[in-house]
């Protein structure tokens, strides 16, 4: 297994860029006990300077474009540098091995923007788009512009976010590519934490000229498959009375999602990909709706990395990862944030 730590050892060239960063993850605001998974994230973290590796003679294979060098998996390709994702998504490696039985399409210089979750908006914004900074540093160093490899039939937001860039891209139609030189940016999100410099870079990369959101924003998941608020009519009545604007991201373009959050000062949302849009705001206050059955801390860790005010409301768990919100509890948390 070629981990993030081992990658420089097998690379043909390595370049550092950017700055080292140190942060302190402090407890979020809430009236409920902090989940154990969240407790484990508290404390100081050090992020070394990120790097770009160039690795020769690599295969990218399968629907997730798994990187394989001499029969070994490069975790910083399809698996965001995370060994736990390789274990949880092992079938993607099996599909990659099957795909490698086909003749390979040859590409001289490439970078992979595929991955086991590259179709998910959250992972596209927080795990994949930060690779653009590394890619541009690579081009400055070498004068070369790698072709970007995307998954097969990517969502619309993928094309919309790549449109203003100077790099060409192709979609994964052949499922097996032999790359003479593969550019592998180190994955920036570690321990689930997004370094604050990554958020700053994304805001510079995609500046918003139009801010049509109100300062107070509620992001609904009413058309999502899961993590919906079952008493959302009661919730939205409460929020509308307080001047909140209700927005849905599922039907919105990349630019619309950016713009709707760019002017937000207060954001309330159930846990979900739409909450990744907090990165477009300038020092917002965040209140996230979670449940005991699904309390992934990734939203909190974005805000905590930047030092933004963040509160969580532990809601009643319902089937399908859905939830019922205690309005009184929400009111208390909003007053505390």
**pLDDT (tens digit, 9 = 90+) per residue, 88-106?**
999 999 999 999 999 999 9
**E strand or H helix that includes residue 278:** none
Does 211 have pLDDT greater than 70?
no
Please check whether residue 65 is in contact with residue 79, taking contact to mean a CB–CB distance below 8 angstroms.
no
According to CATH, where is 3.40.50 located in the chain?
A: 216-336
Q: Smallest Cα–Cα separation from 18: which of 60, 48, 49?
A: 49
Helices 298-306 and 196-205 pack at an angle, to 10 degrees, of 90
Per-residue pLDDT at 306 exceeds 80: yes
- Does the pLDDT value for residue 110 go beyond 90? yes
Percent of the chain with pLDDT over 70: 99
Rounded to an integer, what distance in angstroms lies between the CA atom of residue 109 and that of residue 81? 21
How high is the pLDDT of residue 125?
97
Of the pLDDT bands very low, low, confident and very high (cuts 50, 70, 90), residue 295 is confident
Is 185's pLDDT higher than 70?
A: yes
Question: Does domain 216-336 match CATH 1.10.510?
Answer: no
SS3 of residue 13 by DSSP:
strand
Chain-centre distance for alpha carbon 281? 16
Mean pLDDT calculated for residue range 157-186: 96
Instruction: State the distance between the two ends of the chain, measured CA to CA, in whole angstroms.
Output: 43
């Amino acid at each position: 297994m070629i981990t993030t730590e081992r990658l420089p050892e097998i690379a043909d060239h390595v370049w550092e860029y950017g700055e080292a960063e140190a942060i302190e993850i402090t407890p979020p605001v809430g009236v409920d006990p902090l989940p154990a998974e969240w407790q484990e994230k508290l404390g100081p973290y050090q992020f070394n300077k990120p790097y770009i590796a160039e690795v020769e003679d690599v295969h990218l294979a399968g629907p997730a474009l798994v990187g394989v060098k001499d029969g070994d998996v490069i975790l910083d390709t399809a698996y965001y540098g995370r060994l736990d994702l390789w274990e949880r998504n092992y079938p993607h490696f099996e599909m990659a091995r099957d795909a490698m039985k086909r003749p390979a399409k040859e590409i001289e210089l490439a970078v992979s923007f595929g991955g086991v979750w590259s179709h998910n908006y959250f992972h596209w914004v927080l795990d994949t788009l930060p690779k653009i900074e590394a890619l541009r540093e690579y081009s400055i160093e070498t004068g070369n512009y790698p072709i970007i490899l995307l998954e097969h039939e990517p969502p619309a937001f993928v094309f919309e976010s790549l449109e203003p860039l100077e790099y060409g891209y192709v979609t994964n139609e052949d499922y097996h590519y032999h790359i003479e030189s593969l550019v592998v940016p180190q994955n920036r999100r570690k321990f689930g934490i997004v370094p604050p410099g990554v958020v700053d870079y994304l805001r510079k990369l995609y500046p918003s000229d139009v801010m049509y959101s109100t300062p107070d924003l509620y992001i609904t998941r009413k058309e999502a498959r899961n993590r919906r608020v079952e008493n959302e009519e009661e919730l939205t009545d409460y929020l509308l009375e307080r001047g909140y604007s209700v927005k849905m991201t599922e039907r919105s373009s990349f630019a619309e999602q950016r713009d709707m959050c760019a002017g937000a000062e207060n954001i309330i949302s159930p846990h979900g990909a739409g909450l990744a849009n907090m990165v477009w705001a300038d020092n917002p206050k965040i209140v996230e709706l979670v449940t005991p059955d699904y309390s992934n801390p990734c939203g909190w860790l974005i805000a905590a990395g930047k030092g933004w005010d963040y509160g969580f409301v532990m809601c009643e768990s319902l089937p399908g990862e859905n939830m019922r919100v205690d309005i009184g509890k929400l009111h208390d948390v909003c007053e505390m944030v």
